Structure 1
Amino acid sequence: MPELPEMETYKLLLQQKISGETITDVIINREKSINKEIADFSQQVLNQKIESVERRAKHLIFQLQNGSCLLLHLMLGGWMFYGKEEEKPDRTVQVQLSFGNQNLYFIGLRLGYLHLLSSEMLEKELQNIGPEPLDPNFSLDAFLDALKGRRSNIKTSLINQECIAGIGNRYSDEILWHAQLLPERKMHELDRDHFYRLYDSIKFILKQGIQNGGYMSEPLFFGDHRTGGYSRMMKVHGREGTPCERCASAIIKTEISSRKTYFCKNCQH
């Protein structure tokens, strides 16, 4: 599932491609991917200018000229491609937004969605999401406050969107490796030094993920050399049995909160 760095990469690239552009056509191939009847959705979106593309947690928000917005959550397996009809990947497209001869294809939205919402509906939809970890106001004190009273393990707390926004399964593993903390450690067992290391690692890993284009394997458009660069830099996630880059011990895979979790038992404590 795309996490904060992947959605931030999409946001930055799409800001360059479609901000200020007008939607000239709408094609819906899967009605369950939207929240209105196809005719109603198309009527309200067609001929609207994209004022901006923003991100909140793992969502993208396409702000429309009329004050409404399109809220995207790719969920598991979802991705996007931007280009001409002849460039379209040979994959099933659930939703297509056109901007003249360029199209934004939403692919793999079996669980994901693109919902048309008013500003009030958007606020309600996102009201329970926690603070953005890369926000300038997300200080160490704000971090401690977000985790205050948590007695679950660190992994579960990190991926809880009501606690901190945008961190999912992959980046929680990378963050905990960088902080040298075991994923099953309980939050209430950590001292201030542990919290500081965890806070520092969250910011470091997420920024590194963004700078290297996240882990998505499919480029957003032809010539996109940014998307997916971070997949080669991951230290533990998906690397079961390979040597840890820090201590050479074998990376272990286990399951925590029904999530595949990767870590080094030797140098994470």
Structure 2
Amino acid sequence: MPELPEMEHYRSQLSQLLCGQKIIGVTVNREATINEPVDEFKSGLIDRSILFVERKGKHLLFHLDDGRRLHLHLMLGGWLAYGEQGPKKDSHFQVILAFDNGSSLYFGGLRLGYLHRITAKAAIEQLKELGPDPFDPRLTLEAFKKRLTSKKGKLKTTLTDQRFLAGIGNCYSDEICFDAKIHPALSSNELDDEQLERLYGSMRKVLMEAKEAGGYMEHPLTPDDKLTGGYNERCRVYDRKDEPCDDCGTEIKLETLTGRKMFFCPHCQPQS
């Protein structure tokens, strides 16, 4: 599932490609992906221009020149492509937006995700429960400590709770915990000050490195996009079951915690 680094990478690229572009064509191949009748969705987008692209956690908001928003949540398996033609047949994409510069934006893998046309007020209402962004300047170390120590659940569960922090999922919760050398199944409210400081630093470090490396997903946005997916081979524990830890050589373990996969090094991240 795309997380903060992937969605921020999308936002950065799309901001350069789409801002000021006018939508001249709309294709909907799956009605369940949108939130209104197809004809209404199409007529509401034709001749509209995209002013800018905003990210909220794992969500993208395309700001339109009529004051409305296109609200995108890729959920599990969603991805984007942009160019004069898509990397697959058009029928493989749930929605396609064509622009007056001759290129199109393709929305794929949205079997669980969605693309909704909503008002600015509705966007605020739908996203009001999201926690702060990990890079929000108001989320200082002290604010982070206060939020985390007030939670009674397991650390991985807390980090992936979008009401606690917006944007962290399975992959980066494990990578952050490994970088901080903390077991992801420890209780959030039992970490000491030193662990909390390490965790805060690792959160910002890992997310920044992943964002700059193009995230871990392997779907390039454009044909000449060489950055997307650059972090995949730099993951140190995620999806590396039975591989040796880069730091100590111990086999990476995979367990399940509250229904989520949890990758960790039992030597570098002791549970007691």
Compute the displacement of 1:141 (Å): 1.8
Conserved? CA contact 1:62–1:71, under 8 Å: yes
TM-score (norm 1): 0.97
Compute the displacement of 1:56 (Å): 0.4
Compute the displacement of 1:200 (Å): 0.5
Matches within 5 A, 1:1-269: 1-85=1-85, 87-90=86-89, 92-100=92-100, 101-269=102-270
> Which deviates further from its counterpart, 28-37 or 135-144?
135-144
Aligned residues: 268
Compute the displacement of 1:26 (Å): 0.7
- Whole-Å separation in 2 of the counterparts to 1:63 and 1:42: 16
TM-score (norm 2): 0.96
- Whole-Å separation in 1 of the counterparts to 2:181 and 2:38: 49
Amino acid at match of 2:107: F
- Whole-Å separation in 2 of the counterparts to 1:217 and 1:73: 18
Q: Unaligned regions of 5+ residues in structure 1, if any?
A: none
- Whole-Å separation in 2 of the counterparts to 1:189 and 1:124: 33
SS of residue matched to 1:224? coil
Compute the displacement of 1:147 (Å): 2.1
SS of residue matched to 2:117? strand
- Whole-Å separation in 2 of the counterparts to 1:183 and 1:210: 22
- Whole-Å separation in 2 of the counterparts to 1:88 and 1:103: 12
Compute the displacement of 1:238 (Å): 0.6
SS of residue matched to 2:231? helix
The C-alpha deviation readout for 1:154-175, integer Å capped at 9, x for no partner, is 0000000000010000000000
Amino acid at match of 1:164: L
Compute the displacement of 1:145 (Å): 2.9
The C-alpha deviation readout for 1:179-230, integer Å capped at 9, x for no partner, is 0000110012111111111111100000000010001111000110111100
Compute the displacement of 1:38 (Å): 0.5
Conserved? CA contact 1:146–1:164, under 8 Å: no
> Which deviates further from its counterpart, 63-72 or 144-153?
144-153
Compute the displacement of 1:43 (Å): 1.0
- Whole-Å separation in 2 of the counterparts to 1:113 and 1:12: 20
- Whole-Å separation in 1 of the counterparts to 2:242 and 2:205: 25
Compute the displacement of 1:137 (Å): 2.2
Conserved? CA contact 2:58–2:73, under 8 Å: yes
- Whole-Å separation in 2 of the counterparts to 1:9 and 1:89: 22
Compute the displacement of 1:143 (Å): 1.0
Q: Unaligned regions of 5+ residues in structure 2, if any?
A: none
Compute the displacement of 1:75 (Å): 0.5
Conserved? CA contact 1:19–1:52, under 8 Å: yes
Amino acid at match of 1:221: T
- Whole-Å separation in 1 of the counterparts to 2:68 and 2:155: 37
- Whole-Å separation in 2 of the counterparts to 1:163 and 1:196: 17
The C-alpha deviation readout for 1:112-168, integer Å capped at 9, x for no partner, is 000111011000000000000012222112212322421101000000000001000
SS of residue matched to 1:200? helix
Conserved? CA contact 1:178–1:201, under 8 Å: yes
- Whole-Å separation in 1 of the counterparts to 2:103 and 2:189: 51
Amino acid at match of 1:44: G
Amino acid at match of 1:40: E
